[in-house]
Amino acid sequence: MIKVSIITPVFNSARFLPRLFESIKSQYGFEYEHILVDDCSSDNSLQIIRAYALNNFRVRVIASTENKGPVIARNLAIKVARGKYLAFLDADDYWLPDKLFVQTQFMETSSAFLSFTDYRSISEDGSLIGRRLCGPRAVGHGLHHMTRFIGCLTIMINREKCVDFMFPEISPAMRAEDFLAWSLLMLRHGPAQRCGHDLARYSVVRFSRSSNTLRSATSIWSVYRYVEKLSLLRALIYFSCYGIFTVLKRFWFRPRLNAIDVDGGLCRSYLIKDA
C-alpha cells in the first residue's frame, strides 16, 4: 500500500529540481509516490522531470497545456493520488531526510487528520537559514487566522478522515488558497496537530508568488471578508494579529544564520551555486 502521495507543482523551476529530487530520494521507511505537475513551464522543467521519471517508478508526471497556478496543479495531482496521506512540497523547497517517516509515525499514533511540523526559512541558494519556527501543540480555526505557524510544505493530511479534500479554487485566483484549505478542514474536523520536529526548509525566492507582501495581505483580507464572510470586527481583529505576526515572521525568522552551522553536510549537498 502506498503510504504517502507527495505532490509538487512545477513552474520554471529547473535549477531547483536536482535538490528537490535528492530531498525526496532521501526519505525512507515506507512506500510513497511523487506526483509532479508541470504548470506549462517555459524552461526545460518538463523535460527534466520526465527524464527523472524514466528512472524512478515512484514518480508520476502530469503536464498541463496552460498555466493555471499551483492550486489547480495540486488538485490535478490529488485526483490521481493513491496514498493514505497527502504531503505537499514545492519545487524550490526541501525536506530533511526523516521528514515523512517521523510525520507518518506521528499521524498513526495521534490519529490526527491534519498535522504540521516545525521548519526554517532558507535563502534562495540555501546558504543562509532562519530560526526554527515552532507552533503550539494544536492550531485551531481562530489561532490559524491570527498567526502563520503552518507552512504548506509541512502539512500532512489523512485522506481516510478527509475523504473529499481538495484545495478551494477561488475565482479570481488569490494567494491564500492553502490558508483557506486548512481553515475549512479545521472547521470540519477540529484543530491541526503539531509534530514537534524541525523537518522542512522553505526557500525565500525573489519575485516568487508569495514574496509580494501587499498582495498576500490583500488576499488574506479578501478571504476573511468575502470568502469566509467574517464580520468586520472579527476580520479586523484577525487581520491585525496576522499583520503583527507576519512582520515578526519576516524579520525574526528570516534567513540570516550560516546554514552550514545548522544543517552541516546536508546544507553543503543542497546548496545551489548559481542562484
Residue 265 DSSP one-character state: H
End-to-end CA distance of the chain: 38
Residue with cell 541558494: 125
Full-model pTM: 0.94
Report the CATH superfamily, name and number, of domain 4-270: Spore Coat Polysaccharide Biosynthesis Protein SpsA; Chain A (3.90.550.10)
The C-alpha atoms of residue 54 and residue 46 are separated, in whole angstroms, by 13
The answer to whether residue 138 scores a pLDDT higher than 70 is yes
Query: pLDDT per residue over 6-52, tens digit each?
Result: 999 999 999 999 999 999 999 998 899 999 999 999 999 999 999 99
Query: pLDDT per residue over 175-228, tens digit each?
Result: 789 999 999 999 999 999 999 999 999 999 886 656 567 888 888 999 999 999
Query: pLDDT per residue over 164-184, tens digit each?
Result: 999 998 876 677 899 999 999
CB atoms near residue 113 (< 10 Å):
22
34's CB contacts (< 8 A; 6+ apart) are 6, 8, 24, 56, 58, 59, 60
Give strand ranges (E) for the chain.
4-10, 32-38, 59-63, 85-88, 94-95, 114-123, 128-129, 138-139, 156-158, 192-204, 257-258
Q: Quick one: pLDDT at residue 210?
A: 60
Whether omega for the bond prior to residue 97 falls within 30 degrees of 0, making it cis, is no
Domain residue extents for the chain: 4-270
Average pLDDT, the chain: 93
The C-alpha atoms of residue 130 and residue 251 are separated, in whole angstroms, by 9
